[in-house]
Amino acid sequence: MWNNIFTAIDEQYESMVNTRRYLHQYPEVSFEEKETAKFITSTYDRLGIPYESNVGGNGILATLKGGKPGKKVALRADFDALPIQEENRVDYKSKIDGVMHACGHDGHTASLLGLAEALLPFQEELPGTLVFLHQHAEEYAPGGAKPIIESGALDDVDAVFGTHLWVNTPLGVIQTSRGPFMAGADRFHIKVKGKGGHGAIPHQTKDAIVIASQLVTSLQQIISRRVNPLDTAVLTVGTFEAGDAFNVIADSATITGTVRTFDASVQEMIIEEMEKIIKGTCTGYDADYDFDYLKGYTPVINHPEEADLILQDAPKADASLITEEVEPSMAGEDFAYYLENKPGAYYFTGAQIPDHYYPHHHPKFNFDERALPHAAKTLIQAYRSYQEEHN
């Protein structure tokens, strides 16, 4: 049966590509994915697979109950896009101004829908129950995973698996780790409130640009001098906004950025050190400030046994695939919340286009569509392996 399923997935390739390209043309940002959700539910209506919509927001859970006893396992795909103006010159370019699928979620959705269609003829032979978990709002905290979990819709699920099409990884390579896999991702916002004035009379001002510049430099020293070198952490300043004219000293400056960690105690230490540095620097310059720190997604920590199923068994789905255990990525993912509640694992499916490397969230991001069946095959192989391990 399983070989026939893998063949059926290959036969869905053209359909997956068409689905992906349609979704790519009509992206919707986090929490606004109404039309995308309708497209997903219309597919399950056509297939006759029952589903629950509006789960935790715009989430959708479709259920395929096999004819044989087994566990209930969820396979997740996210479907939101990003507020980015696409720069690719492709015939399926985004038709929505300022919005783009720049992270591959259109491909995740296409893979899962293609898998559902491929599996339908084999329903009576399948063990257990498969939940097709279509999640909204992965890109923007608080995200879609938490409200889906809080809805109780996954309470009776035994395990959850998910994959991300990954353009850093060559086609045909599957990557994961048996523990920490992706970092916790936080945001911060600092506004320095000084005193503006004429550029020729600096001694009568409190130069917000100078103060904020000092903060940018000092904040980097938290990682280099306060975090244990054996721990992993990143502090990145992403924006610096100040001033309106070349000859005017700015009265305020705003910097925003992100902190990435794997350990809660390291996270708390960084927050405390940031508070000290911001307060001390601004006090030294006799300036005021606002400091807002938003704790985002927690780290993605794979369960070792479930990660083993990916590393050991993914090639059973396709002999051309190879698996690698890799060091954790500092990118963030709200799949973390599923793994805090259920056994499971998250992994990367290689989707790199040779000679077209633009990273995730870039206006020219794109991926090799031949990775679509790889994602579908490895997801159902994870389902199969889990059933065999626990039945």
Q: How far is C-alpha 173 from the geometric centre of its chain's CA atoms?
A: 19
Any idea which residue has 């940018």 for tokens? 216
Please return the burial class of 16, using the count of CB atoms within 10 Å of its CB with bins 0-12, 13-18 and 19+: buried
Residue of 78, 86, 138, 273 marked active site: 138
78 is catalytic: no
Residue of 33, 80, 158, 251 marked active site: 80
Cα separation, 296 vs 254, whole angstroms:
20
318 is catalytic: no
- The token duo for 322 is 């190879």
241: number of Cβ within 10 Å = 12
What is the SS3 assignment for the chain?
A: CHHHHHHHHHHCHHHHHHHHHHHHHCCCECCCCHHHHHHHHHHHHHHCCCEEEEECCCEEEEEEECCEEEEEEEEEEECCEECCCCCCCCCCCCCCCCCECCCCHHHHHHHHHHHHHHHHHHHHHCEEEEEEEEECCCCCCCCCHHHHHHCCCCCCCCEEEEEEEECCCCCCEEEECCCEEECEEEEEEEEEECECEECCCHHHCECHHHHHHHHHHHHHHHHHHCCCCCCCEEEEEEEEEECCCCCEECCEEEEEEEEEECCHHHHHHHHHHHHHHHHHHHHHCCCEEEEEEEEEECCEECCHHHHHHHHHHHHHHCCCCEEEECCCECCCCCCHHHHHHCCEEEEEEECCCCCCCCCCCCCCCCCCCCHHHHHHHHHHHHHHHHHHHHC
Catalytic residue ranges: 80, 138
